[in-house]
Structure 1
């Protein structure tokens, strides 16, 4: 098995701002992440039986009952070719009152059923004398490797992912919802990064990002400004339109509108990796603040530039980390997504930069 390392661990420059201790979304205090990975069978596709290459990823912005203690949130949709649940509520109300779940396109409803069961167990007042929660489930299409018609992700898997949610460092690459994903026609999956932003009073806040990377053509792949994808010798096969889901969390005191402003900036980070948000790609960013939802103590709009920088840097690095950490995987019908060849990538970058 190829030894996988993040680009930062290889000494590559990935931005100006410092990272948190783990350089992932769990650097934001209180954030928990859990995964269920489903990998079963090999050979020809038999719908309903496999091969299975899929899973679920659960993100809890705070280790509390989110239905009773919601977070502020903002969301931006760059390309609406997606089947996510919960987008209109966040757009309208500007807060999040449930965990965030990621999975494959045809398993969204099963995962939503699992989240509903989880929330009903936590909150017996739901449906009796309280408002119903807004379920947030986001997705990408893993059908190139997975028997997606089999809908192998069940409500119990969503509950298990929530129960497994722990502090970092988080797993990246072929894990959870990222098991069957492709990125730039190579193996994609889960990636994450974080940045520290210091305000004028010397207080540090964290911006953490998690990417479910499942998009793009090899020829478009960029790394650190270098058109690496045009030179890589990695074998690529068919293209299936995919998506990119980005979930950002910060502990900074930001309003719902400021969170949406931050979410808009991820498109600049996407472009650093070569994304052009192709037709058929559902590209979404959900941005959450864990700062007290009741507080009106927001940052000034004129103090957001370093947060914008953090969004651009964490977006790009999360996508790159998904590629660098993913392992080669064979799926249904012998379809293969090969891992990014790290040494060849380094050689191309150094040659391009004159090193």
Structure 2
């Protein structure tokens, strides 16, 4: 393996799949991609923002090819309709709680206008992408405590260091009756004799207690009783430096569902399960003047490598989110145990 340090799941001997990991087993193994968090953990609040910045240039002027797969649509995200229609991403991606989506939209619009004063004047508007899960079990979601300053702070904090667990948008999340949160993983692929990377970042807030299946076959179950229905959500963001069409990215995004299923998820009626995928390989100019443009594209016969990587990284990223999150008490008498504590006791 090429990673410099063991991921949280691998430190417990839990290995997902067979592909080689990236250098740090993180989505930030993709050159130029950065992650930022703003965490609120005080009083009855367990919430925040997580920002995914795909490249260090001007995303509105230099868009990326993207696609979305709605596995189960019980969600309130913003920007997905245009991603589906045009196959492009033109802002950073913000993750947050359900009631802060509008705040994230405003923050992304203001940031885009500050960098591109022509937006809404001499050129079109901008499509902000904000994805959400409900952290209302552990956090007072009705307080609506997040503002644009918190969203801006997450964007400004973006770096190659991707913290995991109860950070940013993952602060108040739950998974399979345990503490959930933010997790990441990556895989290295070889195409035409060159290394490429696919990485995943998840916001894990899903799964019925008792349904979790570990890679070694064990089925952890929290001691406390929880409602039987599956009412959570999960956001999976897949990034790669392999050149792909939006149609191909949608096919890759679908395989995030395979990684979730390996964990024991079945996408319950009240679960918002969404996968967003983008490629950093080629940029699309907003002010392109040519009628015809040429872009590289993966040969379809080699796409199975990316399917496998999407499933493996999604599965491992969820486990990393859970294992990185310590036990937490939140609003009222709410609490979530730590999967890491369960593993240490075995």
What TM-score do you get using the length of structure 2 for normalisation? 0.92
Count of residue pairs the alignment pairs up: 331
- Partner Cα separation in structure 1 for residue 341 and residue 329 of structure 2: 19
Q: Is the 8 A contact 2:47 2:170 kept in 1?
A: yes
1:291 aligned counterpart, secondary structure: strand
1:171 aligns with 2:170: no
Structure 1 residues 140 and 343: alpha-carbon distance in aligned structure 2, compared to 1, 3 A threshold: closer
Alpha-carbon offset, residue 107 of structure 1: 0.9
- Partner Cα separation in structure 1 for residue 133 and residue 222 of structure 2: 26
Q: Report 1:133-172 matches (<5 A).
A: 133-168=126-161, 170-172=162-164
- Partner Cα separation in structure 2 for residue 238 and residue 154 of structure 1: 32
Alpha-carbon offset, residue 238 of structure 1: 4.6
| Residue aligning to 1:55 | 48
Structure 1 residues 346 and 290: alpha-carbon distance in aligned structure 2, compared to 1, 3 A threshold: farther
Alpha-carbon offset, residue 21 of structure 1: 1.1
Q: Report 1:97-116 matches (<5 A).
A: 97-116=90-109
| Residue aligning to 1:131 | 124
After superposition, the C-alpha distances for 1:128-180 in whole angstroms (9 at most, x for unaligned) are 11111101000000000111011111111111111111112x10000000000
| Residue aligning to 1:289 | 279
| Residue aligning to 2:33 | 31
| Residue aligning to 1:338 | 337
2:231 aligned counterpart, secondary structure: coil
1:11 to 8, 13, 21: 13
Alpha-carbon offset, residue 11 of structure 1: 3.1
Alpha-carbon offset, residue 346 of structure 1: 7.8
Q: Report 1:185-334 matches (<5 A).
A: 185-199=177-191, 201-224=192-215, 226-229=217-220, 232=221, 234-238=223-227, 241-294=231-284, 295-334=294-333
Q: Any gaps of 5 or more consecutive residues in structure 2?
A: 1-5, 285-293
Higher normalized helix content (fraction of residues): 1
- Partner Cα separation in structure 2 for residue 155 and residue 260 of structure 1: 31
Structure 1 residues 23 and 116: alpha-carbon distance in aligned structure 2, compared to 1, 3 A threshold: same
- Partner Cα separation in structure 1 for residue 24 and residue 342 of structure 2: 24
1:318 aligned counterpart, secondary structure: helix
- Partner Cα separation in structure 2 for residue 344 and residue 166 of structure 1: 30
- Partner Cα separation in structure 1 for residue 189 and residue 32 of structure 2: 17
Alpha-carbon offset, residue 343 of structure 1: 5.4
| Residue aligning to 1:351 | none
Q: Is the 8 A contact 2:210 2:222 kept in 1?
A: no
Q: Any gaps of 5 or more consecutive residues in structure 1?
A: 42-50, 348-355
Q: Is the 8 A contact 2:15 2:316 kept in 1?
A: no
| Residue aligning to 1:95 | 88
Q: Is the 8 A contact 1:228 1:345 kept in 2?
A: no
1:332 aligned counterpart, secondary structure: coil
RMSD of aligned Cα (Å): 1.6
| Residue aligning to 1:45 | none
- Partner Cα separation in structure 2 for residue 236 and residue 37 of structure 1: 28
Alpha-carbon offset, residue 114 of structure 1: 1.2
Structure 1 residues 342 and 226: alpha-carbon distance in aligned structure 2, compared to 1, 3 A threshold: farther
Alpha-carbon offset, residue 241 of structure 1: 1.6
Alpha-carbon offset, residue 297 of structure 1: 1.1
After superposition, the C-alpha distances for 1:77-126 in whole angstroms (9 at most, x for unaligned) are 01010000011101000000000000000111011111111111111111
